[in-house]
Amino acid sequence: MQEDFSTREVAQRLGMAVRSVQLMVDRGELQAWRTPGGHRRILRASLDAWLTGRGLAPTKPADLSPGDGAPPRLKALLIEDSVHYQNLVMLLAQQEYPDLDLHTANDGIGGLVMYGQLQPEILLVDILLPGIDGAALVTSLRSQPQFASSELIFVTALDEQQRAPYAFALAGLPLVHKPRLVTDLPPLLGAAIQRIQARQPQFAG
Amino acid sequence: MASRVRVLLVEDDITLQRFVSMALEDDEVRMQACISVDEALLALATQSFDLVISDLMLPGRHGLDLLQTLKQRPALRGNARLAVFSAGINPAVREQLEALGVTRFLSKPCSLGDLQSCLDGLRDAAPPAAMPSIHQAAIEQYFGGKAALYQAFLARCRMQFPLDIANGRLACDRGEHVKLRHLAHSLKSVLLTLGHAEAAEVARQLELDAEQAATGSEDALAAARAAWPVLEEALAKLL
């Protein structure tokens, strides 16, 4: 799903002049950032907040229904309570693996429910979660037959010492330390995608 | 790569933006324009510039706000030369601007020659001394050099920090040490990857105190509550 819009795209969606949208950014009604090349990008979340604040419908996910013959998209579920890291993983996935269909659950219980509904091929799990923690969550998921074919990656800010109590669940599984997320997650994700494509050729492009 | 002259223009009049970019931009000069003080500060926080040209009358915050902020936080300014592009720069205003470090004064309307003289000496200057801002260091260390990803993440963090502040206050008031621990835990690595190691350390200590509080330690809970306002202040600075 597209996450940031150009000023022109927002102007088109709102039926306003580009200049009016620039002024909305200026007044702080919309949040924006600039690319190093100087292009303004407006956050979808801020546009949605602006729209719903006026009783209007938020933006819809882009109509990107896969065309006939396109391979099915791989589904990934991120179970993470920190909005900041939900954002970062989403930005990263969008940049590195735009075809990945990424879903998010905010806590362990929600994660269990969504796992059952989505049956994702890839699971990204934070360890320290409200409710049940990531290690307990994974232990409980092991009883589901689908889990055997899921690729699991732990994502955590816990240092080695803090991870010790969870060692039983983490043994031998790929793990990303959050400060290294941007550099370490994409290669692990890439390797997971390759393994899935080797097992299930329908996902190979 | 760093040998190009980087110019930041803060000007809300789009016609004037175009005029300045036509006057200054060439193969050696890259200009980035923005229309408000807040945008300029975001740009300065994430990239370094050799020249900042600012209007004074801007929508929202006044251009002087920008210059005062740069005076208070020299790291944001880096080695940038400061120029003001405005109508009605009288001697009193000029004196005030000089005190803030402005060395070039462009009265509107101004000639092409005046504008181009702002670049004097910058084209041939050696690349800026290697004193990367904390942001550039963070981009290199934690973002694999991807400045756009850093900026997109920072913009989202700035939307979320006010909610973090509200949640942290509430958890403090109610003595909810588990919530406080999770919040501090998340902010610890967020602040570290954004390049704010000191604030990250406050968050780390708060995380430990909140974790201790779970064992029933009143002292630890009191320490966590005392640490929260410090962390909150650090977050507020990033807004």
DSSP state of A146: G
Q: What is the rounded average pLDDT of the residues B3-32? A: 86
Window A:49-78, CB contacts with B under 8 Å: none
Question: Using the beta-carbon criterion (under 8 Å), do B148 and A38 form an inter-chain contact?
Answer: no
What fold characterizes domain A4-53? Multidrug-efflux Transporter Regulator; Chain: A; Domain 2 (1.10.1660)
For the domain bounded by B5-131, which CATH number is listed?
Answer: 3.40.50.2300
Residue with tokens 């890439």: A190
Q: In chain A, where does the domain assigned CATH 3.40.50.2300 lie?
A: 75-203
**How far is residue A163's CA from residue B86's CA, in Å, rounded to a whole number?**
58
Cα separations in angstroms, B139 against A91, B46, B132: 15, 9, 10
Phi, psi of A169 (to 5 degrees): -85, -20
Phi, psi of B214 (to 5 degrees): -65, -25
| Mean pLDDT on B166-182 | 92
Does the CB of B2 have a partner CB in chain A at under 8 Å? no
Which of B47, B155, B160 is opposite residue A36, by nearest beta carbon?
B47
Q: Can you name the CATH fold of A75-203?
A: Rossmann fold (3.40.50)
Residue contact B12–A41, C-beta within 8 A: no
In one-letter notation, the amino acid at residue B86 is S
Q: Do B190 and A32 touch (CB under 8 A)?
A: no
List the one residue out of A65, A68, A92 whose CA is nearest residue A78.
A92
Q: What whole-number distance in Å separates Cα of residue B207 and Cα of residue B187?
A: 9
The stretch B47-58 carries a mean pLDDT of: 92
A4/B94 Cα distance (integer angstroms)? 40
| Predicted confidence band of residue B131 (pLDDT cuts 50, 70, 90) | very low
Do residue B155 and residue A32 have CB atoms under 8 angstroms apart? yes
pLDDT band at residue A171 using 50, 70 and 90 as cut-offs: confident
| Unique residue bearing structure tokens 């260390």 | B141
In angstroms, the separation between the Cα of residue A152 and the nearest Cα of chain B is: 21
B169 has a pLDDT exceeding 80? yes
Average pLDDT over residues A110-137: 90
Angle value at C-alpha A58, between A52 and A60, nearest 5 degrees = 175
Residue A156's pLDDT is what? Answer: 94
Pairing status of strand A40-43 against strand A32-34: antiparallel
Burial string for B208-220 (b: 16+ CB within 10 Å, else e) reads bbbbbbeeeeeeb
**DSSP bridge pairs for B51:** B7, B81
Quick one: pLDDT at residue B129?
A: 42
Please indicate whether, in this complex, the C-beta atoms of B142 and A180 are within 8 angstroms of each other: yes
On whether the pTM is more than 0.80, the answer is: no
Query: What number is the ipTM of this complex?
Result: 0.76
- The answer to whether the CB of B235 falls within 8 A of the CB of B187 is yes
pLDDT 10s digits, B143-161: 988 888 998 899 899 889 9
For range B110-114, the mean pLDDT: 84
At residue A72, the pLDDT reads: 84
CATH 1.10.1660.10, chain A: domain bounds: 4-53
**For a pLDDT cut of 90, what percent of chain A falls above it?**
39
A25 has a chain B CB within 8 A of its CB: yes
Q: How far from the centroid of its chain's Cα atoms is residue B3's Cα? A: 23
Mutate one of A23, A26, A91 to test the B interface: name it (highest B CB count within 10 A).
A26
Nearest-angstrom CA–CA distance, A138 and A152:
9
Q: How far is A35 from chain B (nearest CA, A)?
A: 5
B155 touching A, CB under 8 A? yes
Are A34 and B43 an interchain contact pair (Cβ–Cβ within 8 Å)? yes
Optimal mutation site among B156, B179, B206, interface A, most CBs of chain A within 10 A? B156
* pLDDT (tens digit per residue) in A64-117: 444 556 778 899 999 999 999 999 999 999 989 999 999 999 988 889 888 988
Whether A83 sits inside 8 A of B163 (CB atoms) is: yes
Confidence of residue B54 (pLDDT cuts 50, 70, 90): very high
Q: Retrieve residue B79's tokens.
A: 């080695």
A130 touches chain B (CB under 8 A): yes
How is domain B139-237 classified at the CATH fold level? Four Helix Bundle (Hemerythrin (Met), subunit A) (1.20.120)
Task: Measure in Å the smallest separation between the Cα of A33 and chain B Cα atoms.
Answer: 6
Q: Do residues A88 and A155 lie in contact, with contact meaning Cβ atoms separated by under 8 Å?
A: no
